Amino acid sequence: MIDPDGYRPNVGIVLARPDRRVFWARRAGRDGWQFPQGGMNSDETPIEAMYRELKEETGLAPDHVRVLASTPGWLRYRLPRRFRRRHQKPLCIGQKQVWFLLEFLADESALRLDTVEEPEFDQYRWVDFWYPVRHVIAFKRRVYRRALGHFEHYLPDSSTRHDE
């Protein structure tokens, strides 16, 4: 699904632990690392797409996380020309994304990268909150900076964590 301006609706997920470190994953068979993200189906709301993508890419269910915040609107990035699929119509020039900040509530064993036939990721690690802005592919950096800037004050405060 591509909008009239050439952008594909998409969701992005920042999964944060109570220690304020975030989930950072390597694209399967590639060198690139990123946050979980994925396209929205035409019949989905952003939150429905987020939970579907969360399950597909990390194996996590809704009860493994708590939604802390979302961006108030779309954040857009343009794809460099070399990444555009010219044979597809309509032409997708980039992505528009609603981002979600989730608190990871589960045990580490709940994370599964192999729950779908073709996994998106083959490795993950937990990194400092701002690390992804410096290490994601260049054309996504502005969107990452905007999303993380919006989310920073919603992060869990590990000093007030209450274990159940």
Q: What is the CA radius of gyration of the chain?
A: 16
Q: Where do the domains of the chain lie?
A: 7-160
**How many whole angstroms separate alpha carbon 23 and alpha carbon 93?**
27
Does domain 7-160 bear CATH number 3.40.190.10?
Answer: no
pLDDT digits (tens, 9 = 90+) for 125-141: 999 999 999 999 999 99
pLDDT digits (tens, 9 = 90+) for 21-51: 999 999 999 999 999 999 999 999 999 999 9
DSSP state of 22: E
Mean pLDDT of the chain: 92
* pLDDT at residue 150 is higher than 90: yes
Share of residues in the chain with pLDDT > 90 (%): 80
Mean pLDDT of 74-96: 82
Q: Which helix (H) or strand (E) holds 51?
A: helix 46-58
Two tokens at 144?
Answer: 């990452």
Report pTM: 0.91
DSSP state of 91: P
* pLDDT at residue 7 is higher than 70: yes
124 contact partners, CB below 8 Å, separation of at least 6: 23, 24, 25, 26, 58, 111, 113
Mean pLDDT of 86-114: 91
Q: Which helix (H) or strand (E) holds 69?
A: strand 65-70
